[in-house]
Amino acid sequence: MSGILSSRAALVTGSSSGIGLAIAEALQRAGAQVIYHSHEPRPKGWPENREFLQADLIPADAAGKLIEAAFALRPRLDLLVSNAGSFFDVPFLNMTLELWEKTMALNLRAMYFLIQAFAKRLVLEKRGGSVVVMASTNGLQAEMDSTAYDISKGGVVMLTRTLALSLAEHGIRVNAIAPGLIRTPLSRAWMAARPGIEEHYRKNIPLKRIGVPEDCTGAVVFLASDAAAYITGQVLAIDGGLTSQQISPA
């Protein structure tokens, strides 16, 4: 898909590692000018010409400030990939208000107001654009001891649909990908604490493997591009077929 995003400019939140990094690099290979983002400092060893913004998205005013900084770097910004998010869950009976609010602030509130700030600028300039957000198969099917995360990702699924309606008249499309189990720094730690979980998933995923970040990139490049010009409000599961089946008895 080389060149499919030529002349486009993108911000990818949470793009210093994992799925976000793979997506940002894929957008760049497809011709887009990409702004990378993390809540941590710029990773060492990155190319000098790689544009990067650091921002913690949990504070209430952070989303608007990040979008303002991104447009200052790339005034013709017209692609937003809202990927930043994390998992802070404990078992339901141990959940605290602090962990609940941290989950919702990062995984849902920040995404909503990032898109709002991005869209306001495009509407003001009478330009269209594309938004791709990071949902999860956890927004489609619940998982044990993942209550706050599951609820936040369920909110992202509905965010995708309702914002697609709100922004359609302005030529701004909103779609989502919903990855299943993908090997990232976060999921590796989760699997390491659960002996036997990798084998369980390899057995039950129809394609018989756990995903890698690169499995998510083609869908995002497509959804961001004019090849998806008539697609909005959609959530695409990228899970090796896991959510397409009922688990049969062994």
So which residues are the catalytic ones? 136, 149, 153
For 147-167, b/e burial (b = at least 16 CB within 10 A) is bbbbbbbbbbbebbbebbeeb
Q: Distance between CA atoms of 179 and 160, rounded to whole angstroms?
A: 15
C-beta of residue 107 within 8 angstroms of C-beta of residue 176: no
- Joined together, the tokens standing for residue 205 give 């995923």
Q: Distance between CA atoms of 214 and 49, rounded to whole angstroms?
A: 23
Dihedral sign from CA coordinates of 55, 50, 12, 214: negative
Which class for 76: exposed (0-12), middle (13-18), buried (19 or more C-beta within 10 A)?
Answer: exposed
> Does residue 226 sit in helix, strand or coil?
helix
Q: How many other C-beta atoms can be found within 10 angstroms of the C-beta atom of residue 185?
A: 9
Nearest of 26, 34, 43, 40 to residue 8 by alpha carbon: 34
DSSP 8-state class, residue 247: P
